[in-house]
């Protein structure tokens, strides 16, 4: 799961998918990172933690990291939150780019529409709830498709 800061959206996506995969008995390796290195080593944003907690998911143990080229080789699937994440990853990976592995997460729910998970960083708590709800539905779809 990849966003810009690995502070707001992708930590939620990691927490939600891990929770749902465990419930479904799926032995998946799930991780998140940011395209930027602005917040390396920090825990998720306090509002992401609050909204996750309110939904029974603990993301407090996560620490922010930056996407590395090797991640593209290691993971089977990389989900990005918005189109600029996609472009940034493409640039970061250069000649190693594997387009089949990378997708906008909301295309799981709305194939081909290239909808984006909005960045809640500059807004209030409501934005984090909205992001949680979008990511929860997308993660449900990811699990459903794997069955």
Among all residues, which ones are annotated catalytic? 3, 9, 119
- To which residue do tokens 């990976």 refer? 93
CB of 117 to ligand 4NP, least distance (A): 8
Joined together, the tokens standing for residue 129 give 């709830």
Q: Kindly tell me the sign of the dihedral angle through the C-alpha atoms of 133, 80, 30, 7.
A: negative
Q: For residue 109, what are its two tokens?
A: 């729910």
Under the binding rule (CB under 6 A), the answer on residue 50 touching ligand 4NP is: no
Per CB under 6 A, the list member of 14, 71, 88, 119 interacting with ligand 4NP is: 119
Tell me: does residue 121 bind ligand 4NP (CB under 6 A). yes
Q: What minimum distance in Å lies between the beta carbon of 122 and ligand 4NP?
A: 8
- Please tell me whether residue 7 binds ligand 4NP under the rule CB under 6 A: yes
Q: Report which of 14, 60, 61, 10 is spatially closest to residue 35, judged by C-alpha positions.
A: 10
Rounded CA-CA distance 38/103 in Å is 23
Interface with ligand 4NP includes 33 (CB under 6 A)? Answer: no
**Residue 81 dihedral angles phi and psi, to the nearest 5°:** -90, -35
Q: Would you say how long the chain is, in residues?
A: 147
- Taking CB under 6 A as the binding criterion, the range among 2-10, 94-102, 105-113, 138-146 that sits at the site for ligand 4NP is 2-10
Q: List residues near ligand 4NP by CB under 6 A.
A: 3-9, 38, 119, 121
């Amino acid at each position: 799961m990849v966003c810009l800061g690995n502070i707001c959206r992708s930590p939620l996506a990691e927490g939600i998918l891990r929770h749902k995969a465990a419930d479904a008995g799926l032995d998946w390796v799930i991780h998140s990172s940011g395209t930027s290195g602005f917040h390396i080593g920090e825990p998720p944003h306090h509002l992401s933690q609050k909204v996750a907690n309110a939904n029974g998911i603990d993301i407090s143990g996560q620490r922010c990291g930056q996407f590395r080229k090797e991640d593209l080789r290691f993971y089977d699937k990389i989900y990005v939150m918005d189109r600029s994440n996609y472009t940034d990853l493409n640039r970061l990976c250069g000649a190693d780019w594997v387009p089949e592995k990378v997708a906008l997460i909301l295309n799981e729910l709305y194939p081909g529409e290239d909808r984006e998970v909005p960045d809640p960083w500059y807004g209030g708590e409501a934005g984090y709830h909205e992001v949680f709800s979008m990511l929860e539905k997308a993660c449900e779809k990811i699990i459903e498709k794997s069955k």
